[in-house]
Structure 1
Amino acid sequence: MPGKYIKIVTFLSLIVIVAIQGSWLAHTYRLIETELLQVGNRLFPQAVVDEAKTRLDRLSDTQGEDITLSFSTNFDYQREIDQTLFEYLTILANDYADSVYHSSISLPLADSIFTVRLAQEGYQAQVKCQLVDSLGAPLQEEDASAWHHPFKTLRTNPVYLNREHTQAVRATILNPYWIAFRQMGVLLVATALLLVFVAGCIVYQVRIIIRQNRIARLRQDFTYAMIHDMKTPITTISMTGHTLESGLLDRNPELKKQYFAILHEESAHLLGLSEKILTIAKLEQSRLKLAQEPVSLPTLFDELTQKYRVQTDKEVTLETHCPDSLLVTADAEYLKEALGNLIDNSLKYSDERVTIRLSAEEQNRHILIRVWDNGWGIPLKQQKHIFEKFDRGGLEYKKEKKVSGFGLGLNFVYKVITAMGGSVSVNSIEGKFSEFTLTLPAPNKKL
């Protein structure tokens, strides 16, 4: 499956998981909210009766009367006593307070008692009581803003205070969300951790799948490129060997010598490719030991320029900028091979006229070696992948150009330079230039 569809399926799967978990949490919240409302409707009538009893006790003490009200409100009126009888008890207590003491319900006292009742049940709630008429319109309230709370509130059933049912009191629980969240605290944390863990596992698996698909595709491309690229030298070697074996060139020593030169060149080409693949494998397994010795960069640059001026058929301008006697700590042969790969890429990924500039300088006890060319350049999105094995960034946008190679050159450069204790970086603008910078230790730097 293409990487784009894998990402889409993964994204949809995460959405489904989040939706299922969210639906479950929402259902759990509604259950807690329903339970809280049921507890509130059960406890609030008791709180109203407690308020009347407390108010009457205070009034009798103030008036110097010896009146003792001894009835219990610690019962569940929905189970132990008929609701009508309980409402009658509430109305009786309030009518008595009103007729004898001209005292009506104290909303702050009702708030306090109801809050204590809820706390005894394990609900730390903020409540506000309100006096309403038979239609629910407010007659008296402590804080009007509480009834226009910006967040959701829960309202208990009204408790009537007179026989005509023209006055009732009801309570509002202002913070049901926090109550539910406190009860769901462990559940929410566990759900969040589970979602993060599942999402992380899915993303990790998708990255592995995409990487495996990419590696498989790169291997297929490598196999095709290797067969295609090796077919020509193998065919040439086979035909040249057959011609030499036939004896047809025995009478023409000069032509025979050219054929032997062709055999040597093509054999060296195949051997060099095999050694490059073997070197990369050894570096990955940390089995290759590189020499660390002073190398003269001016001498190395001269050897490279002479070699590639002869080998290329393009109109190439090779420039060198290097201080005399500048040394670098490296393995001479592998450094030469790495720089040769960069120059070879400059020749491959460019038009018929190309300028290549080799330069070196010392900065902060390190030697910076730069290989610059005015070739095709490398797209920004591909620059982070070009040092990977089998990657060939130059062919992604120049498909009409048939460029030989297996995508091992830059990976070889990266592996070799890092094995020498250095680093490799690239700076390129598509269609304008490419510049590779090799940073290596100076000769007297301790490794």
Structure 2
Amino acid sequence: MTGKYIKTITFLSLIIIVVIQGAWLVNTYRMIETQLLQTSNRLFPQAVLDEAQNRLERLTNAQKEELTLNFSADFNRVQQIDQKVYSDLIIVMNQYADSVYQTGIDLSSADSIFTNYLVQEGYQAQLHCELIDSTGSALQTEEQFAGKYSQKILRTIPVYLNKEHSTAIQAVILNPYWIAFRQMSVLLIATVLLIVFVAGCIIYQVKIIIRQNRIARLRQDFTYAMIHDMKTPITTISMVGHTLESGLMENSPKLKKQYFAILKEESSHLLNLSEKILTIAKLEQSRLKFTKDLVDLPKLFDELIQKYTIKTEKNVTFQQNCQITSPLIADEEYLKEAISNLIDNSLKYSDDEILIRLSAEERENTFFISVWDNGWGIPLKQQKRIFEKFQRGGLEYKKEKKVSGFGLGLNYVYKVITAMGGNVTAESIEGKYSEFTLTLPVQNENV
């Protein structure tokens, strides 16, 4: 399964999860909204009745007694009577209050009473009341609420104030969204955390799958490259050994010596490859032990220059500049191998004429050892990953002839130098140059 296909499946899975959770939240919101409306429709008539009673309580004592004689029994039975009687009681109460007190219903008072009822039910509502006619058109409303509403609202069922049903009062809840969100606050937080957690787990698992697929491909490529690269020296050793065993070289001492040199060179190549793989494995398991020696860096540069000048068939020019005054304490064998890997890469990824500069300087208690070349360079998109195991510079197919290798050289350099307490950086422009810099701390010679 390709990485692109896995990412597509992951993206669709996350969308499905979000859609399911969203549908669940929408249904929950609608349920809370329905409960709010049902509660409001149940409480609002009582609020209208209480408002009428409040107006009547402002009358004289004689009027109160008369009212009590007429309506006290009804008040005691408000919760037991059916809805029609309840509605008729509200109409009678309001008409009586209007005729006695010579005033209409107090919308602000109805607002306050209804708001308190909702608070007791656990709803912090912003609302107002308005008078409407039989068609639902507003006859009277509070001034600040006149005009259009800027957000979704809920309206209670109308409570009629006269027998003709020509005038009614209705409550308008202005913030049903916020009421529902308050009720759902814990649920919303839990949902968000759940989605984030699930999304994180899925993305993490996808990364692991993609990484495992990439590692599997790298292992296959590594196995193929290793077998391909080892096949030549093994074949050469086998042929040379067979030739020497046949005795054909006994009469040609010079040619026999050359054959032995070939055996030694190819054997050394296989041994170095094995040592490099073994070293990386030990470094990953923290089992590699370094010795601390005083390194003569100019001498080390000279040895490497002499080695690769003889070894390479390319027209290579070496330049060196070593400007350090403090003693360099490090494992000379591994440091030399690391620099050797960098020079070997410079020769591999270059044309027939190549300039290589070896330099070293000391700044702020740190040694800077650089290997610069004017070879093919490294593509920008590859530079962040070139120190990973089995990764190569991306130009191994630049020329007609494939550049052999396993992608272990720079990984070896990075692991060895970091294990010594240093670091490795790379700077390159494709088609112009590459420069690798090893940094090592200045250490006391007695350490």
Q: Rate the CA distance shift 1:98–1:145 in 2: closer, same or farther, 3 A.
A: closer
Partner of 1:417: 417
Q: Is contact 1:368–1:439 with CA below 8 Å preserved after alignment? A: yes
Q: How does 1:351-390 map to 2 (within 5 A)?
A: 351-390=351-390
Query: Which deviates more from structure 2 when the two are superposed, residues 177-186 or residues 21-30?
Result: 177-186
Q: What is the deviation of 1:51? A: 0.7
The TM-score with structure 1 as length reference comes to 0.94
Q: How does 1:45-444 map to 2 (within 5 A)?
A: 45-60=45-60, 67-68=67-68, 70=72, 71-72=74-75, 80-145=80-145, 148-323=148-323, 325=325, 327-395=327-395, 398=398, 400-444=400-444
Q: Rate the CA distance shift 1:255–1:401 in 2: closer, same or farther, 3 A.
A: closer
Query: Which deviates more from structure 2 when the two are superposed, residues 170-179 or residues 392-401?
Result: 392-401
Q: What is the deviation of 1:380? A: 2.2
Q: What is the deviation of 1:396? A: 6.6
C-alpha RMSD over aligned residues: 2.1
Deviations 1:270-322 (CA, angstroms, capped at 9, x unpaired): 00000110111111111110112331222211111111111111122221121
Which amino acid in structure 2 is aligned with residue 175 of structure 1? N
Q: Rate the CA distance shift 1:407–1:61 in 2: closer, same or farther, 3 A.
A: farther
Q: How does 1:22-37 map to 2 (within 5 A)?
A: 22-37=22-37
Q: Rate the CA distance shift 1:324–1:134 in 2: closer, same or farther, 3 A.
A: closer
Q: What is the deviation of 1:74? A: 8.7
Q: What is the deviation of 1:62? A: 12
For residue 171 of structure 2, give the secondary structure of its aligned residue in structure 1: strand
2: CA distance, partners of 1:280 / 1:146:
79
2: CA distance, partners of 1:251 / 1:445:
55
Which amino acid in structure 2 is aligned with residue 226 of structure 1? M
Q: Rate the CA distance shift 1:81–1:143 in 2: closer, same or farther, 3 A.
A: same
Q: What is the deviation of 1:324? A: 5.8
Q: Rate the CA distance shift 1:128–1:218 in 2: closer, same or farther, 3 A.
A: same
For residue 377 of structure 2, give the secondary structure of its aligned residue in structure 1: coil
Deviations 1:373-432 (CA, angstroms, capped at 9, x unpaired): 122222222222111111112347637440111111011001100110101111122222
Partner of 1:12: 12
Q: Rate the CA distance shift 1:43–1:210 in 2: closer, same or farther, 3 A.
A: same
1: CA distance, partners of 2:169 / 2:49:
11
Percent identity between the two aligned chains: 69
Q: What is the deviation of 1:331? A: 0.7
1: CA distance, partners of 2:32 / 2:445:
70
Q: Rate the CA distance shift 1:74–1:107 in 2: closer, same or farther, 3 A.
A: farther
Q: Is contact 2:396–2:402 with CA below 8 Å preserved after alignment? A: no
For residue 372 of structure 1, give the secondary structure of its aligned residue in structure 2: strand
Query: Which deviates more from structure 2 when the two are superposed, residues 99-108 or residues 137-146?
Result: 137-146
Q: What is the deviation of 1:155? A: 1.0
2: CA distance, partners of 1:371 / 1:146:
80
Q: What is the deviation of 1:360? A: 1.3
Q: Rate the CA distance shift 1:144–1:271 in 2: closer, same or farther, 3 A.
A: same
Q: Is contact 1:294–1:443 with CA below 8 Å preserved after alignment? A: no
Which amino acid in structure 1 is aligned with residue 135 of structure 2? L
Q: Which runs of 4+ in 1 moved over 6 A?
A: 61-66
For residue 58 of structure 1, give the secondary structure of its aligned residue in structure 2: coil
1: CA distance, partners of 2:418 / 2:338:
11
Partner of 1:39: 39
Q: What is the deviation of 1:56? A: 1.3
For residue 148 of structure 1, give the secondary structure of its aligned residue in structure 2: coil
2: CA distance, partners of 1:426 / 1:355:
17
2: CA distance, partners of 1:216 / 1:62:
98
2: CA distance, partners of 1:399 / 1:72:
101
Which amino acid in structure 1 is aligned with residue 58 of structure 2? R
Query: Which deviates more from structure 2 when the two are superposed, residues 136-145 or residues 193-202?
Result: 136-145
2: CA distance, partners of 1:211 / 1:301:
39
Q: What is the deviation of 1:83? A: 2.5
Which amino acid in structure 2 is aligned with residue 268 of structure 1? S
For residue 323 of structure 2, give the secondary structure of its aligned residue in structure 1: coil
Unaligned runs of 5+ in 2: none
Which amino acid in structure 1 is aligned with residue 439 of structure 2? T
1: CA distance, partners of 2:357 / 2:228:
31
1: CA distance, partners of 2:353 / 2:105:
100
Unaligned runs of 5+ in 1: none
Q: What is the deviation of 1:187? A: 1.4
Q: What is the deviation of 1:175? A: 1.5
The TM-score with structure 2 as length reference comes to 0.94
Which amino acid in structure 1 is aligned with residue 75 of structure 2? S
Q: Rate the CA distance shift 1:214–1:102 in 2: closer, same or farther, 3 A.
A: same
Q: Is contact 1:283–1:416 with CA below 8 Å preserved after alignment? A: yes
How many residues of Structure 1 are paired with residues of Structure 2 in the alignment?
A: 444
Q: Rate the CA distance shift 1:288–1:127 in 2: closer, same or farther, 3 A.
A: same
Which amino acid in structure 2 is aligned with residue 389 of structure 1? K
Q: Is contact 1:296–1:325 with CA below 8 Å preserved after alignment? A: no
Query: Which deviates more from structure 2 when the two are superposed, residues 128-137 or residues 408-417?
Result: 128-137
Q: Rate the CA distance shift 1:51–1:236 in 2: closer, same or farther, 3 A.
A: same
Deviations 1:176-203 (CA, angstroms, capped at 9, x unpaired): 1221122212211221221111111111
2: CA distance, partners of 1:112 / 1:127:
9
2: CA distance, partners of 1:399 / 1:23:
58
2: CA distance, partners of 1:400 / 1:27:
65
Which amino acid in structure 2 is aligned with residue 31 of structure 1? M
2: CA distance, partners of 1:183 / 1:445:
71
2: CA distance, partners of 1:67 / 1:446:
109
Which amino acid in structure 2 is aligned with residue 435 of structure 1? E
